[in-house]
């Protein structure tokens, strides 16, 4: 009888490929069929769309309705296709005009009353539209408007209900048309606990300042109650501001999982999964690949407390993304790439009881138990952690003293200056320097080079460890405002490269 074709988008990893929603009405017994590799959520759209159309004051046509989501070999999931399917039925049955539908793309889940509910991946969809050859306006739920507008350049028309979208195409009254949305996001810093509350621990605080300035990874080793978790929880307050590109990448990943919130714009993510997390939870996966914790921490912090308590096979999956900055999830029918440039902050006890090396001498763990415990962290993973330091217990006199620590705001100002120096010099953080860039920006004088070569032979460091020490030294020099890496900078970087005691 009639045919209507509308445009929408699916999600495939970080991409949002275009989908044609084709609605055909034919004579025959009334039926409603959706084809084109839909999953269960998409198939359930039949009941949501039928109720939404009727409760919005329209008539559900008594025809044989066939909805095709093309291309047919692309899996379709979630309720994002509810809105284009409903509009296609109304256009094919001539209840709304179809002459302007081809200028728009649509996405939105419908409630039974016809209201539009938020969807996942709105930012990924609008960003894909921006990169496409043809520029369309985008109609989607009001709750996703700020998120979708972050891509910039895409015309966004938010709506509250199916009826409001139909009025946009049916009414000649300008007041009934959907207005163009402009993102209204305020950049605010999250209120993290202050470093001024941390008593003592001068060395760990210095290491975390260096880590924040150069985006380096850190392993904190110490007995229970030494303050490892306290330090890590305050670390995000030292991180430099995100660039627009970094913020857009991080927000896109969060958008895919439905975790993006407008108040989180330009706030670096901080993820702290429990040690019972699986490998899939950490790196992502599933029959329809979703990003895991390492991708949700993109351009932010991944904090792993009680590191040896994680399953060793789970920790091993971190090795490749720590080097490459991305993760590829392969399944039999699908493959998805997600960014994963996270900053690892890990904490652990030195032995099963936790008190190895404690001044009180309370550890009675046998040496083989200590070795087994520390060997839960493999050598290749440990080699990828830039700085590894001991966090000792705080003396009672220090704990009883008045709080006189340096506030986070003061440390942050130094971190920001050092980070901006890196961006001006190489347009990236020191941690991301390639081997060729290390040769260019991390040149040493003769004394510093001799000191580093001697340490490398003494500690039997790998080439990877050698380059990581140079990156850390470059950050220490940046914090000191020095263009050249001096002997004191390389010496300080070397002392932060401590390995666990393994017999």
Say how far apart CA 83 and CA 166 lie, in whole Å: 10
- The answer to whether the beta carbons of residues 315 and 378 sit under 8 Å apart is yes
**All structural domains of the chain with their residue ranges:** 2-176, 195-418
Q: Which tokens hold the place of 345?
A: 């902050």
Match 């989607």 to its residue by tokens. 140
Let me know if domain 2-176 sits in CATH 2.40.30.10.
no
Burial pattern 260-285, b for ≥16 Cβ within 10 A else e, equals: beeebbbbbbbbebeeeeebebbbbb
Using one digit for the tens of pLDDT, what is the confidence trace for 351-376?
Answer: 898 888 787 777 888 989 998 999 89
User: In CATH, what class is 195-418?
Assistant: alpha beta
Say how far apart CA 477 and CA 486 lie, in whole Å: 8
Using one digit for the tens of pLDDT, what is the confidence trace for 208-266?
Answer: 999 999 999 999 999 998 889 999 999 999 999 998 889 989 999 999 988 888 778 88
Using one digit for the tens of pLDDT, what is the confidence trace for 305-358?
Answer: 999 999 999 999 999 999 999 998 887 667 888 999 999 999 999 889 888 878
Provide the pLDDT confidence category of residue 499 given band limits of 50, 70 and 90: low
Burial of residue 460, with CB atoms counted within 10 A of its CB: 0-12 exposed, 13-18 middle, 19 or more buried: exposed
**Quick check: 301 pLDDT over 80?**
yes
């Amino acid at each position: 009888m009639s045919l209507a074709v509308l445009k929408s988008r699916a999600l495939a990893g970080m991409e949002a490929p275009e989908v044609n929603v084709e609605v055909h009405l034919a004579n025959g017994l009334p039926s409603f069929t959706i084809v084109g590799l839909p999953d269960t959520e998409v198939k359930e759209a039949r009941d949501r769309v039928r109720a939404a159309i009727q409760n919005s004051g329209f008539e559900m046509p008594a025809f044989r309705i066939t909805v095709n989501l093309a291309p047919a070999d692309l899996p379709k999931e979630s309720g994002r296709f509810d809105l284009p399917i409903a509009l296609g039925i109304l256009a094919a049955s001539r209840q709304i005009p179809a002459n302007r539908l081809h200028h728009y793309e649509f996405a939105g889940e419908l409630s039974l009353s016809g209201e539009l509910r938020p969807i996942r991946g709105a930012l990924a969809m609008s960003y894909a539209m921006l990169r496409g050859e043809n520029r369309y306006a985008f109609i989607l739920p009001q709750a996703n408007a700020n998120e979708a507008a972050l891509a910039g350049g895409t015309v966004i028309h938010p709506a509250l209900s199916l009826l409001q979208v139909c009025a946009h195409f049916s009414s000649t009254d300008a007041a009934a048309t959907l207005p163009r949305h402009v993102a209204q996001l305020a950049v605010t810093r999250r209120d993290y606990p202050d470093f001024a509350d941390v008593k003592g621990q001068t060395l760990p605080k210095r290491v975390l300042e260096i880590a924040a300035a150069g985006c380096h990874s850190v392993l904190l080793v110490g007995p229970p109650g030494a303050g490892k978790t306290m330090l890590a929880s305050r670390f995000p307050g030292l991180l430099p501001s995100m660039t627009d590109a970094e913020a857009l990448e991080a927000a896109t990943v969060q958008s895919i999982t439905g975790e993006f919130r407008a108040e989180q714009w330009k706030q670096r993510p901080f993820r702290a999964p429990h040690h019972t997390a699986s490998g899939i939870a950490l790196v992502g996966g599933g029959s329809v690949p979703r990003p895991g914790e390492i991708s949700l921490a993109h351009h932010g912090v991944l904090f792993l407390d009680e590191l040896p308590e994680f399953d060793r096979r789970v920790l091993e999956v971190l090795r490749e993304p720590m080097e490459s900055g991305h993760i590829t999830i392969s399944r039999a029918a699908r493959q998805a790439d997600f960014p994963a440039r996270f900053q690892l902050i890990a904490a652990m006890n030195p032995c099963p009881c936790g008190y190895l090396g404690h001044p009180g001498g309370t550890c009675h763990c046998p040496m083989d138990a200590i070795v087994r415990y520390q060997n839960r962290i493999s050598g290749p993973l440990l080699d990828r952690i830039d700085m590894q330091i001991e966090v000792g217990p705080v003396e009672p006199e220090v704990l009883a003293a008045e709080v006189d620590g340096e506030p986070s705001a003061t440390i942050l100002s130094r971190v920001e200056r050092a980070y901006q120096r890196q961006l001006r010099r190489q347009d990236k953080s020191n941690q991301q320097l390639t081997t060729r860039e290390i040769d260019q920006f991390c040149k040493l004088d003769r004394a510093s080079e001799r000191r580093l070569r001697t340490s490398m032979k003494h500690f039997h460091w790998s080439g990877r460890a050698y380059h990581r020490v140079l990156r850390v030294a470059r950050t220490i020099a940046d914090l000191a405002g020095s263009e050249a890496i001096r002997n004191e900078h390389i010496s300080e970087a070397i002392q932060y490269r401590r390995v666990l005691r393994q017999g």
